Amino acid sequence: MLTLRAMRGLQRVPATFLPTLAMPIFQAVAFAGTYFAITKIPNFPTDRSINWFISLSGCMGGAFSGLGLGFAAIRDIENGFMDRLRMAPTPRAALLLGPLLSALARTFIVLSTVLVVGYFFGARPTQGLAGIAMFYLAGFGLAIVATGWGLGIAYRFRDMRGAALMQLTLFLVMFTSSAQAPMSMMQGWLLQVARVNPMTNILRLSRQGFLNPPVGGVSWENTWGGLLAIAVLGSLTICFAYRGLRKLER
Amino acid sequence: MTQPPIQGAPIVVHSLVRHFGSGDNLVAAVDGVDLVVEQGEIFGFLGPNGAGKSTIVRMLTTLLKPTTGHALVAGYDIVKQADLVRRSIGVALQDSAIDPLMTGTELLELQAVLYGIPRAKMHARASTLLERVGLTAAANRRVITYSGGMRRRLDLALSLIHEPTVLFLDEPTTGLDPMSRLALWEEVRRLNREGTTVFLTTQYLEEADQLADRVAIIDHGRIVRQGVPKELKAKVGAPTLVINVSAPQQDLAKSVLARFGEMRPTDEGSLAVGLIAGATGVAEVVRALDEAQIDLHHLELNEPSLDDVFAEATGHRLEGATPTAEQTVK
């Protein structure tokens, strides 16, 4: 029912969802166009620049969908609706599950739209349905992580100050990974950060279906790191959100 | 297995304390409150803004944990059995906690799901409640289009979806026009007649006087008086004589009035005295003021009110005790 409520909110005020949908599409098309020459690098794993950037857009879409639920939680706190939810004899976990399912539904819409628009602009999966499944898996994973992070911040800040922090951390994590260029092209501190940044593994998970082997191609080697990153970050951020929800009582 | 509630009064509060902040910024919003609300009672909780009324309601409704002390609501401990408390109570908070993008029906159905009401009963219950609060015609409109009074009535309907035995109303009529206020009072009385125990916070004296079987007066986090309104007013004793004189004559007028009883706190520019002789003493006061050549601008004699009880207990009047035009949203 809470998921349904969130989806109704999208339908009634589509403007709140528009940036989540438009930004990843714009990013995929703009980056692919601006950096089209990236494919000229020797041994670059695809000859289509949009095949490289579409995964970044998918991950960004999943993350924005999750953060959107953080923004919605801030609105609920500010207009008092969160109090109504907290006064209900519902398990506290259900108050997190509703937004989480809603984030996954939003992510599905964003990823599907990115795929369709990406195809129109020349993106071609190289690994069939298995590759597309990995693209969705990474997007859904990031949606879970971002929902936990967004809700946790919302429950602690309780006003729109939290929104800026949510977005800032997302961009920092996203762009200090292999988001824009392969690791082989990076140097200095950025390379060191990208190596340990879990986002690099999630992007690798997402990109398997759009890049050529040996870098691309659906394999356990390209999958496990991303799954582990999602599992660890997802667990941590959901715990962060749960503790934040409890903090509202203190 | 569900634990049985402790039998007794629906609300029992013992030494409840709530602090906010820490160190030098520590504020005791609630500072050792004890009270008992009996079954089937409308209990009025009266106090100025910032006195601690809403903090107590938030603790009793499990939204906030007490710093120390304990309380039972509907026989359950508010901290250890919060979930059971939530099942037993209905709450309409000070700011209508309503999602403006949803319709009245959708909100009631969401509330029903949150309280585990079966879907088969959900629609009928929602329709009944909407009818009861006079919102059937607006049921499928988004709440953003509702007036302040309609939102309050919807909020009340939401708090009743699971037929609670104890109902908390936190300043339910603040900002309402007189007609909406009267309609809400009538609904509260009806609920009470049907057996619901009502805990009502208000800053309006008239509201407490009209609705409450018993009242507690809170100031700076402490209960300063508690009892039946009529008895509390009777304890104040003498009626209050209020006069207005020009500023230069205030001190002289004060010395004259002091001969007829104890001076009482009042608004700036006025003087008030508890007139020991009652109404029969007014003529004598007027004569004394005249003899002292004091130019009397205005005079009124008021029977003891809850405001007098408040003033007698705290040394100051209850600001905003009656709704002003600015506070009333038409």
Calculate helix-pair angle for A49-78, A18-34, nearest 10 degrees.
160
State how far the Cα of A88 lies from the Cα of B113, in Å rounded to an integer: 10
Whether the per-residue pLDDT at B306 is higher than 90: the answer is no
Q: Where do the structural domains in chain A lie, given as residue ranges?
A: 2-247
Contacts of B86 in chain A (CB under 8 A): 87-89
Tell me the nearest-neighbour CA distance from A162 into chain B, angstroms. 20
Segment B116-154, tens digit of pLDDT: 899 888 999 999 999 988 899 999 999 999 988 888 889
Look up residue A112 and give its two tokens.
């599907």
Instruction: Flag the least confident range among A42-56, A226-240, B216-230, B313-327.
Output: B313-327
Which residue of B lies nearest to A73 if distances are taken between CA atoms? Answer: B99
| Average model confidence (pLDDT) across chain B | 87
Whether the per-residue pLDDT at B7 is higher than 80: the answer is no
* Amino acid symbol at A172: L
Task: Check B98 against A84: CB less than 8 A apart.
Answer: yes
Segment B187-198, tens digit of pLDDT: 899 999 999 999
Q: Three-state SS across chain B?
A: CCCCCCCCCCEEEEEEEEEECCHHHCEEEEEEEEEEECCCCEEEEECCCCCCHHHHHHHHCCCCCCCEEEEEECCEECCCCHHHHHHHEEEECCCCCCCCCCEHHHHHHHHHHHCCCCHHHHHHHHHHHHHHCCCCCCCCCEHHHCCHHHHHHHHHHHHCCCCCCEEEEECCCCCCCHHHHHHHHHHHHHHHHCCCEEEEEECCHHHHHHHCCEEEEEECCEEEEEECHHHHHHHHCCCEEEEEECHHHHHHHHHHHCCCEEEECCCCCEEEEEECCHHHHHHHHHHHHHHCCCCEEEEEEECCCHHHHHHHHHCCCCCCCCCCCCCCCC
Instruction: Flag the least confident range among A230-239, B30-39, B299-308.
Output: B299-308
ipTM of the complex: 0.80
Domains and CATH numbers, chain B: 11-233 (3.40.50.300), 238-303 (3.30.70.980)
Whether the per-residue pLDDT at B64 is higher than 60: the answer is yes
**Rounded to two decimals, what is the model's pTM?**
0.82
CA distances from B150 to B137, B145, B156, B277, B330 (A): 11, 9, 10, 48, 11
Please check whether residue A85 touches B, CB under 8 A.
Answer: yes
Task: Check A83 against B63: CB less than 8 A apart.
Answer: yes
Segment B213-271, tens digit of pLDDT: 999 999 999 999 999 988 888 887 788 888 998 888 888 999 999 998 888 888 778 89
Task: Check B65 against A80: CB less than 8 A apart.
Answer: no
- Give percent of chain B above pLDDT 90: 46
Segment B43-59, tens digit of pLDDT: 999 888 888 998 999 99
pLDDT, greater one: B5 or B70: B70
> According to the model, what pLDDT value does residue A69 have?
92
pLDDT mean over A14-43: 86
**Which of B65, B93, B98 has the CB atom closest to A249's CB atom?**
B65
Handedness of CA A180, A181, A186, A192 (dihedral sign): positive
What are the residues whose beta carbons fall under 8 Å from the beta carbon of B131, sequence distance 6 or more? none
> According to the model, what pLDDT value does residue B325 have?
45
> According to the model, what pLDDT value does residue B70 have?
93
CB atoms within 10 A of CB A39: 16
Tell me the nearest-neighbour CA distance from B117 into chain A, angstroms. 12
Sheet containing strand B166-170, edge to edge, reads B89-92, B166-170, B197-202, B42-46, B214-219, B222-227
> According to the model, what pLDDT value does residue B329 have?
39
Task: Check A80 against B102: CB less than 8 A apart.
Answer: no
> Which of A84, A158, A250 would best serve as a mutation to test chain B binding (most B beta carbons within 10 A)?
A84
Band (pLDDT 50/70/90 cuts) for residue A215 is: confident
CB atoms within 10 A of CB B328: 16
Segment B149-170, tens digit of pLDDT: 888 889 999 999 999 999 999 8
Whether the per-residue pLDDT at A239 is higher than 90: the answer is yes
Q: How far is CA B107 from the centre of its chain?
A: 26
pLDDT mean over A113-118: 94
